[in-house]
Amino acid sequence: MSAPIDFYFDFASPYGYIAAQSIDELAARHGRAVNWHAIVLDANFQSLERIRIPNSVMRSEYILRDVQRLATYMDVPYKAPSSLGLHTDQAAKIFHALKDRDPALGRRFAQAVFRAYFVEDRNIAQDEVLQEIGRALGIEAEEWRALGHEGAARARLKAEIDLAEARGVFGSPFFIVEGERFWGNDRLPQLERWLAQGPY
């Protein structure tokens, strides 16, 4: 099989959520797998590109309307969360712990977290919300306590973020295939053409 697509996202990103609903299907059309990577685009994220989108912009009337418009265009369920810009470190740590053991389970967890935030308007920064998602996926309470709370989980997330920075990732969603980088949902047609016909 050809090289996989690396898909970088932040659980707080509505654009990342929308991309998550289509990237696997897009990749499958071209015989590619997708490696999902949860990152946290907070003030400590220091991409080589040094691009910053201020929180005020992400909360602006334009962005709120743009996300709703894009979700409708992509036929993706969406409800604007009442609390924007939540901290997603814990969700990202748990995602990687699950993904490292079972990539399919990690992906189901990610989709459930996205749905909880961007469809059900639940606070995914609250551990009890994440626990409820875990229970629905069959994760027992004893197993859950070990997820995301160990030093190894913090180190794992930091390593993921460090690698993303080294690869020039600076936003969500962000895609890398065969060394070529694509930022944003509006680049998905370009990504698909790359997959279909090769480098430009």
User: Which one, of 67, 45, 18, 3, lies nearest residue 173 by Cα?
Assistant: 18
- 3-state SS assignment for residue 96: helix
Beta strand segments in the chain, E = 5-9, 34-38, 174-177, 180-183
Helices 127-136, 89-101: axis angle to 10 degrees equals 30
Residue 8 pLDDT class (50, 70, 90 cuts)? very high
HSE, side-chain direction, 13 A CA sphere, residue 195: 27
- Per domain, the residue ranges of the chain are 5-197
Q: Which of 43-57, 80-94, 143-157 has the lowest mean pLDDT?
A: 43-57
pLDDT tens, residue by residue, 157-200:
999 999 999 999 999 999 999 999 999 999 999 999 999 998 88
pLDDT tens, residue by residue, 31-46:
999 999 999 987 556 5
Instruction: Give the largest Cα separation in the chain, rounded.
Output: 50
- CATH architecture type of domain 5-197: 3-Layer(aba) Sandwich (3.40)
pLDDT tens, residue by residue, 58-92:
567 888 899 999 999 999 999 999 988 888 999 99
pTM of the model: 0.91
